Amino acid sequence: MPLAPTTPASLVDQAIAGMRALLESGEWEVGTRVPPEPALAAALGVSRNTVREAVKALAHLGLLQVRRGDGTYVAATTDMQALMRKQLARVDIAHLLEVRHAIEVRAAALAAERRTAADLASMDAIMDRRRQAVLDGDGPAFIDADVDFHCAVVAAAHNPLLVELYDGLVETLRASIEHPGAADVLAAEHDAVLDAIRAGDPAVAATASADLLDHVVP
C-alpha cells in the first residue's frame, strides 16, 4: 500500500483530532466559546485556513456551533452527544424516556453483576449528596446528584457503548428533572436500585430500576 502524501485534507484531519481531544478531555465544555481562529491556528500549528475548515467540519458534525458575528461555541463533546441532540430536537420526550428505560434497566442488571467496590463507593457518595441537597433545599445540587446517580448505574455496567448512548440522552433528561421541594418522594426507589446492585442481584436490580423509571412521568 503506497503511503498517502501529506495533503491539506490530512492537516485538516489533524486539526479536527486536536480539537476533538480538547472536547473529550473536558477542557472545552458545552456552552463555552472556543478561542478565535488565530489562537487556534497557533495552538494546533496549522494555518488559519486549515482551522477554518476543521471548524466547519466539526460544525457539520454538531460538535461546534458557529454564531455569525459572535464566535464559535461548543455544542457537544462527543459525536453521539451531537447526534442525540439533533435527534432529540425532533423526538417526543415520551420516546426519549422509553429509550432511557431500555438502557437503564438493562444497565442496572449488568451493574449488579459487574459493579466494583469503587462503583459502590461512588454511588454511596452520590446518594449522600442527593440526600443532603434535599435537606438543604438546594435544587441545582439535587439535580446534579440525581443525574450523577443514574449515570453511575450505567457506568457500573462496564459497557462503553451503553455509556455513550446514555451520555447522549443525559443532558436532555437533566432538563426534565424537577426539584423535589422539601420531600424526595423517590428516595426509596433510588435506594432499592442501589441495594440490589450492591447485593449482586440482576433481576431485582432490573425490576427496581423499571419501578423507579415508571415513577418518572414525562
**Which parts of this chain interact with its own copies (CB under 8 A)?**
4, 9, 16, 56-57, 60-61, 68, 79-80, 83, 86-87, 91, 95-96, 98-99, 101-103, 105-107, 110, 157, 159-162, 164-165
Q: At what angle do helices 8-24 and 37-44 cross, to 10 degrees?
A: 100
Residue whose CB is less far from its own copies, 138 or 201: 201
How distant is the alpha carbon of residue 131 from its chain centre? Answer: 23
User: Minimum distance between the CB of residue 135 and its own copies, rounded to whole angstroms?
Assistant: 35
User: Minimum distance between the CB of residue 10 and its own copies, rounded to whole angstroms?
Assistant: 11
User: Minimum distance between the CB of residue 131 and its own copies, rounded to whole angstroms?
Assistant: 29
Q: Cβ-count burial of 60 within 10 angstroms (0-12 exposed, 13-18 middle, 19+ buried)?
A: exposed
Residue whose CB is less far from its own copies, 26 or 160: 160
How distant is the alpha carbon of residue 116 from its chain centre? Answer: 21
User: Minimum distance between the CB of residue 98 and its own copies, rounded to whole angstroms?
Assistant: 5
What is the rounded CA–CA span in Å between residue 42 and residue 33? 17
The set of cell numbers assigned to 47 is 494555518
User: Minimum distance between the CB of residue 128 and its own copies, rounded to whole angstroms?
Assistant: 29
Residue whose CB is less far from its own copies, 8 or 200: 8
Residue whose CB is less far from its own copies, 4 or 185: 4
Annotate 90-156 with DSSP letters as a single string. TS-HHHHHHHHHHHHHHHHHHHHHH--HHHHHHHHHHHHHHHHHHHHT-HHHHHHHHHHHHHHHHHT
Residue whose CB is less far from its own copies, 66 or 120: 66
- Greatest alpha-carbon pair distance for the chain in Å reads 68
